Amino acid sequence: MSTTKTPEQVEFYDIAMRLKKRGLNQSDMARELHVTRAAVAMILMGDRNPRPATLVMLQDLENRLKATGTSKGKATPLQKLVNRLAYLEKNDRANFEVAQRVIESLAPPTNSTVAAGQKRLLKKAFAARPGAPK
């Protein structure tokens, strides 16, 4: 175990402790960060440095939970979908565009008032998320 922690390790630890207070455990964090629980544990113990992308994803997770005012398991399916789409839009543009095309293909023709309502709802959902362009 390392005695001196890097600034990245300290930041990761601080965020992880705040998330723990919200009800997330190491396994939950690992799932959200797409790493193993052991990797999270090793970062928290100071044995490993978090990758920059992993630290950003942890910060994003904390921000999403703050924005929705929810803790573990409390997000609605729509909130989870919007959060996942926001993550894709920010970090994986190609898959975001695929998801966008799939969603658009599921909507009825645009001359329908239902389709127009669906598009407005999607726009509102994206506009309401933190960091959305104005």
Per-residue pLDDT, 43: 94
What integer best gives the mean pLDDT of the chain? 81
Q: How many folded domains does the chain comprise?
A: 2
Domain shared by 20 and 63, yes or no: yes
Max Cα-Cα span within the chain:
64
Cα–Cα distance measured from residue 58 to residue 63, given in angstroms and rounded to the nearest whole number: 9
Contact 40, 20 (CB under 8 A): no
Asked if the model's pLDDT at residue 102 lies above 70, the reply is: yes
Has residue 133 been placed in a domain? no
**Does residue 2 lie in a domain region?**
no
| Per-residue model confidence as pLDDT tens digits over 104-129 | 878 665 556 666 776 777 777 777 66
Does residue 46 fall inside a structural domain?
yes
Same domain? For 95 and 112 the reply is yes
Q: Which two tokens stand for residue 48?
A: 């490993």
Residue 115: which domain range? 77-128
Do residue 14 and residue 63 come from a single domain?
yes
Q: Which of 47, 68, 89 is the last residue of a domain?
A: 68
Instruction: Give 44's Cβ-side CA count (13 Å radius).
Output: 19
Judged against a pLDDT cut of 60, whether residue 82 lies above it is answered with yes
Note the pLDDT of residue 129: 65
DSSP type of residue 112: S
What pTM does this model have? 0.52
